[in-house]
C-alpha cells in the first residue's frame, strides 16, 4: 500500500460520494463510458447501471485481478489491464477517480481525444489550476484545459472519504469538450511555459518568430497562447 500511497493513489470509500459522482456524470443509455483507474470498483457498478457499456482500465495487476473476478458476470462491462493513456479506446464519456500523480497526464491525453464530456476527481489544488483564467497561477495545463474544455466544479470531497486518508481535499470537475489539439501543439504549449517569466516578444525570439508584445503569457487568453503554439509547431 505504501507504493500506491506514494503515487497519490487514495481509494474512495464513500458509496454516497460515488453515487453522486455518477449521477453528476449525465450518462445516457447510449453512452460508452471509459473509467480509468478501476481501483476497488466503487464507481464501476454505478456506471454499468447507467451506460450502454463501460470499459474500465486498471494499471495495477493485483487490483485488476480482484475486480476482474468480482465483476465477471456483468455483461456490459469490459475490464482491461494496462495504462489507458497508452491505449486507443473509443468512448463518449470519461469518468475517473485518478491517482493525483496522473491528473496532468489525463488532461494532456483528453485534449487529444474526441468525446462528449469527462467527470474527473482531482486534488483541490490541481482543480484550482484548471479553473485559473488569469494571473501567475496559470500553467500550461490551465491553458490546455481552458481552450479545450468548459471546466465546471461539481463537488467538494473531503479527504476523510478516502483510504488511506490524503493530506488534501479533492474536487470533482466536469470537462465539456470544445476543441481538440494535436500532440505537437500540446508539446508547443508546454515549451512556451518553460519561458513563462519572459515577455511574449522574447519568447517568440526563442522560436524565430517576431511578435511585438511586452505582455507575458499570463496576460494572454487561452486562444492567443494556442495560436502562438501553432506557429512554432
* 59 three-state secondary structure: coil
Q: Where along the chain do its domains lie?
A: 2-180, 185-231
Q: Which of 95-99, 152-156, 163-167 comes out lowest in average pLDDT?
A: 95-99
Q: What pTM does this model have?
A: 0.92
Query: Residues of the chain with pLDDT > 70: what percent?
Result: 96
Q: What is the CATH code for 2-180?
A: 3.40.50.150
The three three-digit cell numbers of residue 204, written as one number: 517568440
How many alpha carbons lie under 13 Å from residue 53 in its C-beta half-sphere? 9
Taking the alpha carbons of 117, 158, 132, 39 in that order, is the dihedral positive or negative?
negative
pLDDT for the residue numbered 8 = 53
Residue 181, pLDDT > 90, answer yes
What value does the mean pLDDT take over residues 169-185? Answer: 97
Place of cell 473531503: 158
DSSP per-residue letters across the chain: -HHHHHTT--EE--HHHHHHHHHHTT--TTPEEEEE--TTSTTHHHHHHHSSEEEEEE--HHHHHHHHHHTTT-TTEEEEES-GGGS----SEEEEE--GGGHHHHHHHHTTS--SEEEEEEEHHHHHHHH--SSTT--HHHHHHHHHEEEEEEEEE-GGGEES--SS-EEEEEEEE-----HHHHHHHHHHHTTTTS-HHHHHHHTT--------GGGS-HHHHHHHHHHT-
- pLDDT tens readout for residues 10-69: 899 999 999 999 999 999 999 999 999 999 999 999 999 999 999 999 999 999 999 999
What value does the mean pLDDT take over residues 203-230? Answer: 95
Spatial neighbors of 12 by CB under 8 A, at least 6 apart, are: 18, 39, 42, 43, 97, 121, 157, 161, 162
**Res. 83 pLDDT band, cuts 50 70 90:** very high
Amino acid at each position: 500500500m505504501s507504493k500506491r500511497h506514494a503515487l497519490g493513489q487514495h481509494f474512495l470509500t464513500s458509496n454516497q460520494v460515488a453515487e453522486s459522482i455518477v449521477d453528476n456524470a449525465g450518462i445516457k443509455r447510449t453512452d460508452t463510458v471509459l473509467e480509468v483507474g478501476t481501483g476497488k470498483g466503487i464507481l464501476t457498478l454505478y456506471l454499468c447501471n447507467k451506460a450502454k457499456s463501460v470499459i474500465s482500465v486498471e494499471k495495477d495487476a493485483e487490483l485488476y485481478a480482484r475486480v476482474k473476478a468480482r465483476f465477471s458476470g456483468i455483461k456490459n462491462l469490459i475490464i482491461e489491464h494496462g495504462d489507458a493513456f497508452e491505449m486507443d479506446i473509443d468512448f463518449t464519456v470519461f469518468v475517473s477517480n485518478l491517482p493525483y500523480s496522473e491528473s496532468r497526464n489525463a488532461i494532456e491525453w483528453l485534449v487529444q481525444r474526441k468525446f462528449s464530456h469527462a467527470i474527473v476527481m482531482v486534488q483541490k489544488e490541481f482543480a484550482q489550476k484548471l479553473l485559473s483564467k488569469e494571473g501567475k497561477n496559470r500553467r500550461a495545463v490551465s491553458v490546455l484545459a481552458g481552450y479545450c474544455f468548459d471546466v465546471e466544479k461539481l463537488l467538494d470531497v473531503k479527504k476523510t472519504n478516502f483510504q488511506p486518508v490524503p493530506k488534501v481535499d479533492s474536487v470533482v470537475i466536469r470537462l465539456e469538450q470544445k476543441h481538440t489539439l494535436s500532440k505537437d501543439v500540446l508539446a508547443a504549449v508546454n515549451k512556451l511555459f518553460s519561458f513563462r517569466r519572459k515577455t511574449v516578444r522574447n519568447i517568440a525570439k526563442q522560436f524565430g518568430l517576431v511578435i511585438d508584445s511586452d505582455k507575458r503569457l499570463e496576460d494572454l487568453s487561452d486562444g492567443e497562447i494556442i495560436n502562438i503554439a501553432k506557429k512554432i509547431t
